[in-house]
Amino acid sequence: MSMTHFPADRTAYVRAHLWLALGAMAGATLILWLIGNPYVWTGLVAGAGAIALRGFYLASEELAAVWAIEGHDLTGPGGQRISLARIETIRTIGSFVQVITRDGHKYLIKYQADPQATMTAIERARA
């Protein structure tokens, strides 16, 4: 029986962190401006630095995550196993694919190079 794998993609990981950094930079700068800090430019440095540090420390864990379709189950990191028959909703959110089961449990397949293709493969396996 063949398995379909959905590994995390480094390019999607970096792209997601660039967007996070832009948001953090804008947010930090806005807060400093609103409170009247004369050094609003430090918000740019703080936002970029915080997300860069986060990305660096989490990269090895996040990029090692691999989801797969194994028989009638969707398996993920940490021993997660979801019966394909229990899946109610599948949708993309940026580079993530969100899987929601009939009992309301939610799972994220993160940093997919082609989240639409991942979603389509899961939907095809469910059929």
DSSP string, 61-105: HHHH-EEEEETTEEE-GGG-EEEGGGEEEEEEETTEEEEEETT--
Q: Residues 51, 21: contact at Cβ < 8 Å? A: yes
Residue 40 domain-assigned (yes or no): yes
90 CB contacts (<8 Å, ≥6 apart)? 97, 98, 99, 100, 119, 122, 123
Residue 29 domain-assigned (yes or no): yes
49 CB contacts (<8 Å, ≥6 apart)? none
pLDDT of res. 115: 96
Give 98-127 pLDDT, tens digit per residue: 999 999 999 999 999 999 999 999 999 988
Domains in the chain, number: 2
One domain for residues 52 and 72 = no
Residue 15 domain-assigned (yes or no): yes
One domain for residues 57 and 71 = no
What is the C-alpha end-to-end distance of the chain, expressed in Å? 17
Q: At which of 64, 83, 100 does a domain end?
A: 64
One domain for residues 53 and 85 = no
Q: Which residues pair with 108 in a beta bridge?
A: 98
Residue 106 domain-assigned (yes or no): yes
Boundaries of domain holding 23: 9-64
Q: At which of 64, 91, 110 does a domain end?
A: 64
One domain for residues 93 and 111 = yes
One domain for residues 49 and 71 = no
pTM of the model: 0.85
Q: At which of 23, 43, 64 does a domain end?
A: 64
One domain for residues 75 and 108 = yes
Per-residue pLDDT 10s for the chain (127 aa) are 458 999 999 999 999 999 999 999 999 999 999 999 999 999 999 999 999 999 999 999 999 999 999 989 999 999 999 999 999 999 999 999 999 999 999 999 999 999 999 999 999 998 8
One domain for residues 77 and 46 = no
pLDDT of res. 2: 55
